[in-house]
Amino acid sequence: MDDQLRPNLTLRRLMSEYGFTCEGLAEAVNNETERLSGQPGNCAARLVGYWLSGRTTWPRSRARRSLEAVFGRPADELGFRSPVPGPVGVTVRMPVTATPQEPPVLRRKFVLGLGTLLALPALPESGRLGMNDVARIREAEAYLMQFDRQHGSAQLSAAAGRYVEHVEQAVRHCTCSGRVQTQLHQALGEMCARVGWLAYDCTWHDQARRYWDTALRYALLARDPMLQARIWASLSRQAVDLGHGAEAVTIARAALDVTRGRRDPRLSTLLHTRVALGHAVNGEKGRCGHSLHRAEQSLDGATDDAPPWLMFCGPDEVAAQAALCFYNLGDYPRAAQADQEALALLAPEEFRRNAFATHVSLARNLLAAGEADGALEVGQDALGLVREVRSPRWGEHLARFRDDVLGRAPRGAQEFADHYREATA
């Protein structure tokens, strides 16, 4: 191949990353030209095609400066070859007039919180956002999800909320293509859904609802019904905790309706457990049982291709939600049996927070069923997880269990209370 017609693969890759078509890049270059010089630009898609094909190896100065401003890097880092190369081993950087270059370290900068426990990738404060920035947001959400599964929400919620503010600030002050914008809205919705859940697990119900309302707005902008269903599943679960059974059922059914015929089996399973919980809060035993049965049926079709946030919803989760249903219905022996099934199915090394929650739930169900010795034994196991798992929501349930133990005063009650005080100090 003629060296003069070598395709510019670097520019092609960057255009893909930033979501540019030839027409879109031409428009962005013209916008930068007008901003830098006050004169309209005349870049066209045909010229961009010349850049990509290698027919133009070094753009003319005005177009080159504008192109450098669009991507925030010099032309020799965009795949172009200067007709007057600099000395061997030296990179020639062409300054962009009136536009400070994005510092090279910016995309490797981190937002820090919790000492060294939390390091989330930052977004640029100006310039243009691309698909790599979307990936950074999703990377942060995955990090929060994993940390929550291992250690609970107490250490995360406030820092995660600040990260959402950081991302929203970047989206407001940067430009992007239409395709990237849709992906940003989706990723922001997913992040807000995660932060809402962290706030909910901290029992900050008003704050959780605000984040979920924001997440719903982004889900609508992204036209993503699956994200809407995810948020409604969380709102339904919150309604259960607040004692609003009818609201929990209505919200979960709305999520089932909007995703009918296209949802993942694990999402179907999760939503049917939410319906069951709502019926349990209302004392509707038959309807609760029917919804739990539908949840189990849906889970039969589950695969490992589900979205990462849904992978927690397996047989152990269904058993744990069944236990909560039986607890709300006052059937404590069946609730304890379901919790025991959940613990037997759970992978505690992966879902340590869920293991803590299920231990607490089993302990209170055994105590309510009259099995004080077993309840205290399981309660001690829950205390063994307190130092590494901080879930204020389930921590409150553990505190109430301690109070109930002291109130019933079985053998070992004071010993458990002393251990509780030491473990939670």
> Rounded distance, CA 273 to CA 317, Å?
9
Q: Mention every residue, 6+ apart, whose C-beta is less than 8 A from residue 127.
A: 72, 102, 174, 175
- Non-local CB neighbours of 318 within 8 Å, separated by 6+ positions: 269, 273, 292, 295, 296, 299
- Identify which of 163, 175, 81 has the alpha carbon closest to the alpha carbon of residue 129: 175
275-302 burial, b at 16+ Cβ within 10 Å, e below that, comes to: bbbbbbbbebeebbbebbebbbebbeeb
Rounded to 10 degrees, the C-alpha dihedral 225/230/232/233 comes to 140
Q: Please spell the DSSP secondary structure of 320-360, one letter per residue.
A: HHHHHHHHHHT-HHHHHHHHHHHHHH--TTT-HHHHHHHHH
* DSSP-assigned states of every residue in 173-241: HSB--HHHHHHHHHHHHHHHHHHHHHHHHTT-HHHHHHHHHHHHHHHHHTT-HHHHHHHHHHHHHHHHH
Kindly state the DSSP code that residue 424 receives in the 8-state scheme.
T
Tokens coding 375: 């309840």
Report which DSSP code applies to 106: G
pLDDT along the chain (425 residues), means of 10: 73 85 89 82 92 91 87 85 50 33 38 49 87 92 88 79 90 91 96 95 94 97 96 98 97 96 95 98 98 96 91 96 98 98 90 94 97 96 90 94 94 94 89
C-alpha span between 139 and 334 (Å, rounded): 40
- Alpha carbons 369 and 371: distance in angstroms, whole number: 6
Sorted by sequence, the CB contacts under 8 Å of residue 17 that are 6+ apart come out as 130, 131, 132
Nearest to 181 by CA among 228, 131, 141, 229: 131
Structural contact between residues 54 and 7, judged by C-beta atoms closer than 8 angstroms: yes
3-state secondary structure of 128: strand
Burial class, 40, CB count within 10 angstroms (exposed 0-12 / middle 13-18 / buried 19+): exposed
How far is Cα 133 from Cα 354, in angstroms, rounded to an integer? 31
pTM for this one? 0.75
Separate counts of helices (H) and strands (E) for the chain: 18, 2
DSSP state of 242: T
User: Rounded to 5 degrees, what angle do the CA atoms 374, 380, 383 make?
Assistant: 145
- Cα-based torsion angle of the residue sequence 56, 57, 60, 61 in order, rounded to the nearest 10 degrees: 160
pLDDT at 106 (0 to 100): 40
> Can you read off the two tokens belonging to residue 21?
């078509």
Structure-token pair, residue 346: 């759970």
Q: For 4-156, where are the alpha helices, taking DSSP H only?
A: 9-18, 22-37, 45-53, 61-71, 131-151
CA count, 13 A, side-chain hemisphere, 330: 4
Q: Nearest-CA neighbor of 13 among 31, 26, 25, 30?
A: 25
**What pLDDT sits at residue 71?**
81
